[in-house]
Structure 1
């Protein structure tokens, strides 16, 4: 059956988002290897990591806190994706944009659910 967070669509989509961001940043210019690419990867990894950590905590309030952190990391990543478009490193039709949007909607739903418990 797996761990509780592994059953969440928000976690599943965010894991796919991480994979997409790693693929996307692998083709960035070499001078961005330790710049924007690294920041994007860290922000992306933070999303499913915080979902998992929250699910492993005690109580809805702690869980809610980590979902909030995941949402913040997603906002950071979305900004970085927009920067990558502005810098012509990627086009706005890359799969990462749709995955980020879907992950955001799922995190918002999870946040609302936890807020009412």
Structure 2
């Protein structure tokens, strides 16, 4: 399956776009600090889903999904920090999106593990 057809990839792209818009409003002095870190971890999620999908191997796809999950955890931490220092007003809204993305990736991981065990 092409990565663009995966719901996890599609929603991660939308989340990345939303976070770019939100972080554009962060203070200028954070451009190379938390703003950059949030953006990098956000784009890492769909990028790793895409790369894993393109590898052509179920085991490789699974490996890249684990990397995407790591990026998602990093993103959650950065957003919580941004909220705690007053840069982010609606953490709960974003946290729900992160939970949804986590659920989609876990679902993909389970499906791939099932296919690997059946082979």
> Could you tell me the TM-score, scaled by structure 1's length?
0.92
Q: Deviations over 1:22-74 (max 9, x none)?
A: 01100001111110000000000000000001111121100000000001000
Say what the alpha-carbon RMSD is for the aligned residues: 1.4
The 1-side partners of 2:47 and 2:93 are apart by 21
Gaps of 5+ in 1: none
Query: Is residue 2:90 matched to residue 1:87?
Result: no
| Aligned mate of 1:45, from 27, 43, 57 | 43
CA contact (8 A) 1:14 1:99 kept: no
State the shift of 1:94 in Å.
6.1
Query: Is residue 2:51 matched to residue 1:59?
Result: no
Larger RCO (alpha carbons 8 Å, 6+ apart): 1
State the shift of 1:95 in Å.
4.2
CA contact (8 A) 1:22 1:41 kept: yes
State how many pairs are aligned: 115
Spell out the pairing of 1:2-17 with structure 2 (5 A cutoff). 4-17=2-15
> Could you tell me the TM-score, scaled by structure 2's length?
0.91
Gaps of 5+ in 2: none
Structure showing the higher helix proportion among its residues: 2
State the shift of 1:97 in Å.
2.7
The 1-side partners of 2:106 and 2:10 are apart by 15
